[in-house]
Structure 1
Amino acid sequence: MKNKNTAFFGHPIGLLTLFSTEMWERFNYYGMRALLMLFLTASFATGGFGMEQNDAQVIYGIFTGLVYVTPIIGGMLADKILGQRKTIYIGAMTMAIGQFLLAYSAIISPETYEYKQTIFFIGLGVLICGNGFFKPNISTMVGDLYDISDPRRDGAFTIFYMGINIGATIGPFIAGWLGEDIAWEYGFLAAAVAMLIGFTWFYFSHGALGTTGMPPKYNRTKTKLMAKDRLDIVMYIAGIVGLVAAFVLGWKQIPDIIQNIIIITVAVVGVGYLGSNIYKNTNGKTEWSRVGVILVLALVNIFFWSGFEQTGSTLNIFIRDQVDRTIGNFEIPATWFQTINAIFIVLFAPLFTLMWAKLDKWKMNPNTPMKFSWSLFLLSAGFVVMAFANERASTGILVSPLWLVAVFMLHTWGELFMSPIGLSMVTKLSPAKLVSTMMGIWMGSFALGNYLAAMLKPIVEKFDLPLYWFIAIETAIVGVIMAIAAPFLKKMMKGLK
C-alpha cells in the first residue's frame, strides 16, 4: 500500500495539508464569485460597473468557463515539466495578485471607465490563469497519496471536498459581507488575504506530502524543491501577469472578425493537441476503454453544471431582488445565500462518506455512472422547486428564503453524488502518464457547463421558454439516459468501480 499512515481521520497526514490549502483557495474563489454578478450590475455610485444582467452574465460565463479551461494547460505542465507542487505555488500567488487587481479596479473612478475596465479584466485574467495552475494539481495530489485499489480513495476525496466547502462557506460570509455591505474592494482584498494564507500553509506543511507532487525530473526521489525551482516559480508568476496584461491591452485593438478567427483556431489546435496527447499516452484496450468512460462522464458533467451554476448568476440575482431577506431590522446580504450549498456539503459529506462505506460493505454501492444518474435526478428536482418559487415571485410577492434552502439542499445532494465521485473516478481511470491531463479535461467539462449556465437564460428567453422548467426537464432526460447506459459504462471501467 502506498501510504499506510492514518493520522488524519484514518488517512495520511498529507491529506490535511491539501485539505487546508484547498479550503483557503476556495475561500478566495467563492468569496469573489459571490460578489462578481452583484459588482458588475452595481451602480457607478457604489463602485460597480452598472451593467445590465444579461451583459454581466456574459462576463460571468466567460470567467467561470475559462476558470475550468486553463486547468488543462496547468495539468499538462505539471505532468511533463513542473510537477504538481510547483504549479500549486504558482497558482496560489497568481490568484492573490488577481484579487488585488480586482480590489484596485473597485476604487477607480467611473470617470476613467476604460482604465477601470482594463484593470478589472487583467485581474480576472490573472485569476483564471492562477486557477489553471492550482486546481487540477491539488486534486491529483490527493489521489496520489493512495494506491489505485485503496478503498479509502473515495472517502479521501469526500473529506477533501469538505475542505473545499468549508472555504466556500467562509468566503461569501466574510468577503461577501465586506464587499456587499462595506465596499467592493474590501471583499476582493479579503479573498486575496485568504489565498496568501493558503500559500503560506502549503509552504510550511509540505513536508507531510513526502515525494508527492515533485517535478517529473526528480523521479519522486526528493521531498523538497531546490533553489532553481523557487526561481522558476517567481518567473512563471511574473510571466503570467505580464502576458495577461499584454493580452488584455492588445485584444482591444484587434477587429472582431480576427478575434473570432483566433478563438476558433486556438480551440481547434487545443482539442487537436489534447487528442494527440491522449493517443500517444494511452495503451491497450483496457486504458482506452477507461478513457472512454471519462469522456462520456465529462459530457454528462456539462449538463449537471449548466444547471447547478445558476447559483452564482440567475439565482444570485433572484435572491437579491425577489427573496424576502429581512429579519427584524436586519437584511441578510444576498451573498450569504451562496454559503447554503457549502454548509450543506459540510453537513452531509460525512454522512455520504459513511453511506458509501456501508453500501460497499453490503455490496450495494452504486457504480460511478449510476451515481451520476442520481445526481441529475436530484438537480432536476431542485429546479422543479425553483420553478414554483419563480412563478410565485412573478406575482409580485417576495418569496420565503426557505424555497431557496430546499433548492440548495437538493442540489447539494446531487453534487455529492457527482463531484467528489468524479474527482476520484478520474484519478482511478486515467493512464499513469495522463492523470493531470485527464483531470484538466475533467475541469474543462466544468468550463463548458459554466459557460452554458450563463448562456441559458438569453437562449431560452429567445424561445419564450421558462428557464427553470427547461433545466428541470433537460437534466431529468439526461439522468434517464445515464441510468440506461450505466451497466455498459460499468463494463468499460474494466473492474474498477
Structure 2
Amino acid sequence: MASSLTKDSPGAAAEDTAFFGHPRGLATLFMTEMWERFSYYGMRALLVMYLVSGGADAATGSQGGGLAMTAATATAIYSVYVAMVYLMAMPGGWFGDRVWGARKTVMIASFVIVVGHLSLALPGQVMFFVGLGLVAIGSGLLKANISTMVGHLYADPKDVRRDGGFTIFYMGINLGAVVAPFAIGILGEKVNWHLGFGLAALGMALGAVQFLFGSRHLSQESSRVPNPLSSDEKRAVVTKALLGVAVVAAFYLLVNFTGVFRLTLNWVLVPIILAGLLIPVAVLVKIKRDKDLSGEEQTKMTAFIYFFAAAAIFWMIFDQGASTLSLFGDSKTERNIFGWDMPNTLFQALNPGFVMLLAPVFAAIWLALARRNREPSTIVKFAIALGVTGASFFVFLIPMGLATGGTKVTMWWLVLIFLMHTVAELCLSPVGLSLTTKMAPAKYASQMMGVFFLAVTAGDSVTGMLAVAGVDLNSSGVVVFEAAAAALAGVAIYLSRNKVRGLMGEVR
C-alpha cells in the first residue's frame, strides 16, 4: 500500500494527469466516496420505511417484515442516526490526525461500514441496531479523512487543479447518491428489505477493495500521522475510554436490573439526542473562550455562530426528506407515471439529481454576478437558503390539506419540495464549507470543518427530540412552526447582515 515516492513531490504530482488531467489517486478516492455514498443513501432511503413496515403507520399494501414501529419512533431513530454520522466526523478526524493517519483510518472505516450493512441484512432487532451503530461510526471515520486525502494529491499549493479535483470528487458523492435509490431502494422496498441492506454492503465492499488496491496511487502524506499521541497520551486516552464505557454500562445495568425504571428504546435515544444538542454548543463555547485566539479570530468566531445556527435550522428541515416527507410520500401520494407505480424510495434520488443539474448553473450565476459586482454576500445567501427552506414547508401544507379521508395527492408536490430544498442547499452548504475554511482560527484550522458538520448533528437532534416527545411531525401545526422558524431566521439573519459582515473582517 506504499505510494511511489515519485508521486509525492510537487513536481511529479503536477505531471500526474492520468485521471481526466488529475492525479490517478483521485480516481481511487472518487470511487471510494461514490460507493460509500451509494451504501449510505441507499440504506437511508429504506430506513424509515423498514422501521414502520408491518405496523400501524405502514402504507396500505406495503411489504411486511419490518420492525412495526410508529412513525414517531422511526423518525427519532432516523434523526439520531444522521446526527451520529456527523457527530462522529470529529473523533474521526482525531483518529486520522493522531492515531492511524488518514489512509489507514479510511481503510478501517470502510470495513466497519461493510460489517454494519451486513448486520442490517440479518433479521432481528438487535442486529439492526448493531448495524446502524457500526455504519454511523464508520461513516464518521471515513467522512472526516477522505476529503483530506484529496487535498494531499495536490502537494504544490499553486497547483491550479485543486478546486477542479474537489469538484470531480463532489460529483462522485452525488453520483452514488443518485444511483442508490434505483438499486438498493427498489430492491429493498419491492423485493426484500434485507436484500436491499445486503446490496449496500456489497457496494461498500467494492469501494473498500478498490481503495485497498488503488491506495498505492495516493500521496505518501496520507499515510503519515500528523500529530501522533505520546505514550502518556495513549494511556490517558485508553483509561478515559474504558472509564466512559464502564460508567455507561453500569448505568444501563442499574436501570435494567433494579426494576425502578423500565428499560425502553428511549433510554438509548434520549441520551444520544441530548449529546447531539450539547456537544455542538460545548465545542463552540470552548473555541470561543480560548484565550489563545486573537481579537480578530474571536470576532470571526462570533460571526461563525450566526452561520452555525442558520445551518442547524436548515438541516432540521432538509433532513426530513428521508423521514417526514418519505412517510407522507409512502402513504399519501399517487405515484403512477404512465402506468408505472414509482417506488417511494426514488424520491430520495431527487435531491442529488437536482444537485448535479443545478450546481453548475449556480456556479455560473454566482460568477456572472461577481463580474458585475452584484454577487450576494455569504450572509445573504444563507438568508435566501432559510427563506426557501421555510417556503418549502409552507408549500408542504397544501398536499397535507388535500390528503384527507384517504385521498392521495399527486407526487409532483414532493418533487417541488425536493427541488426547493436543493436550491436552498446550493445557497448554504458549499458556501458554508468555503466560509468555514476562511474563518477558521489558525489553531483550529483542521477541526473547523468538523465543527461546521455539527450543525447537521444539532438540527437532526432537534427533530429527534420532537419525535421522541411524541410530536406528530406530519401534523400541520408542527410543519407551520418549522416553516415559520426557518423563514423568521432567514429574515433575522438578513436584517443582521451589516453587523455580521463587520464581525467577519475581510472575509466575504
- Is the deviation greater in 376-385 or in 82-91? 82-91
Check if 1:356 corresponds to 2:366: yes
| Structure-2 residue corresponding to 1:479 | 490
| Structure-2 residue corresponding to 1:135 | 143
Following superposition, the deviation at residue 163 of structure 1 comes to 2.3
Following superposition, the deviation at residue 33 of structure 1 comes to 0.7
d(CA) in 2 for partners of 1:452, 1:153: 36
Conserved? CA contact 1:168–1:342, under 8 Å: yes
Aligned pairs for 1:194-233 within 5 A = 194-217=203-226
Conserved? CA contact 2:280–2:454, under 8 Å: no
Measured at CA, do residues 438 and 462 of structure 1 come closer, stay the same or move farther in structure 2, by a change above 3 Å?
A: closer
Conserved? CA contact 2:400–2:476, under 8 Å: no
Q: Which amino acid aligns with 2:379?
A: P
d(CA) in 2 for partners of 1:371, 1:353: 13
Check if 1:286 corresponds to 2:304: no
Following superposition, the deviation at residue 440 of structure 1 comes to 1.9
Following superposition, the deviation at residue 421 of structure 1 comes to 1.9
Following superposition, the deviation at residue 394 of structure 1 comes to 2.3
| Structure-1 residue corresponding to 2:113 | 95
| Structure-2 residue corresponding to 1:83 | 101
Measured at CA, do residues 427 and 270 of structure 1 come closer, stay the same or move farther in structure 2, by a change above 3 Å?
A: closer
Check if 1:176 corresponds to 2:185: yes
| Structure-1 residue corresponding to 2:461 | 451
Check if 1:470 corresponds to 2:481: yes
Conserved? CA contact 1:81–1:216, under 8 Å: yes
| Structure-2 residue corresponding to 1:39 | 50
d(CA) in 1 for partners of 2:214, 2:392: 40
| Structure-2 residue corresponding to 1:66 | 84
d(CA) in 2 for partners of 1:486, 1:155: 31
d(CA) in 2 for partners of 1:356, 1:59: 38
| Structure-1 residue corresponding to 2:437 | 427
1:338-358: per-residue Cα shift (whole Å, max 9, x none)? 111111111111222233333
| Structure-1 residue corresponding to 2:354 | 344
SS at the partner of 1:283? coil
Conserved? CA contact 1:79–1:433, under 8 Å: no
Q: Which amino acid aligns with 2:342?
A: I
Measured at CA, do residues 432 and 167 of structure 1 come closer, stay the same or move farther in structure 2, by a change above 3 Å?
A: farther
Conserved? CA contact 2:277–2:461, under 8 Å: no
Measured at CA, do residues 430 and 173 of structure 1 come closer, stay the same or move farther in structure 2, by a change above 3 Å?
A: same
Q: Which has the higher helix share?
A: 1
Aligned pairs for 1:288-307 within 5 A = 288-307=298-317
Conserved? CA contact 1:282–1:288, under 8 Å: no
Following superposition, the deviation at residue 211 of structure 1 comes to 4.4
Compute the RMSD of aligned alpha carbons: 3.9
Conserved? CA contact 2:87–2:276, under 8 Å: no
Following superposition, the deviation at residue 315 of structure 1 comes to 0.6
Conserved? CA contact 1:162–1:345, under 8 Å: no
Measured at CA, do residues 472 and 393 of structure 1 come closer, stay the same or move farther in structure 2, by a change above 3 Å?
A: same
| Structure-2 residue corresponding to 1:113 | none
Q: Which amino acid aligns with 1:416?
A: L
d(CA) in 2 for partners of 1:152, 1:169: 26
- Is the deviation greater in 169-178 or in 386-395? 386-395
Check if 1:20 corresponds to 2:56: no
Check if 1:117 corresponds to 2:135: no
SS at the partner of 2:364? helix
SS at the partner of 1:495? coil
Q: Which amino acid aligns with 1:376?
A: L
Conserved? CA contact 1:14–1:145, under 8 Å: yes
Unmatched 5+ stretches in structure 1 = 106-115, 220-231
1:183-242: per-residue Cα shift (whole Å, max 9, x none)? 1111111111111222233334445542454434489xxxxxxxxxxxx9xxx9xxx9x9
d(CA) in 2 for partners of 1:281, 1:198: 43
Check if 1:167 corresponds to 2:156: no
Of 473, 476, 500, which residue of structure 2 is paired with 1:489? Answer: 500
TM-score (norm 2): 0.80
1:402-422: per-residue Cα shift (whole Å, max 9, x none)? 111111111111111111222
Q: Which amino acid aligns with 1:308?
A: F
Of 404, 407, 410, which residue of structure 2 is paired with 1:400? Answer: 410
Identical residues among aligned pairs (%) = 36
Q: Which amino acid aligns with 2:101?
A: G
1:22-65: per-residue Cα shift (whole Å, max 9, x none)? 22111111101111111111128832111111122222222122
Following superposition, the deviation at residue 95 of structure 1 comes to 1.1
d(CA) in 2 for partners of 1:401, 1:272: 42
Following superposition, the deviation at residue 271 of structure 1 comes to 6.1
TM-score (norm 1): 0.81
- Is the deviation greater in 180-189 or in 445-454? 445-454
Aligned pairs for 1:197-276 within 5 A = 197-217=206-226, 253-255=253-255, 275-276=285-286
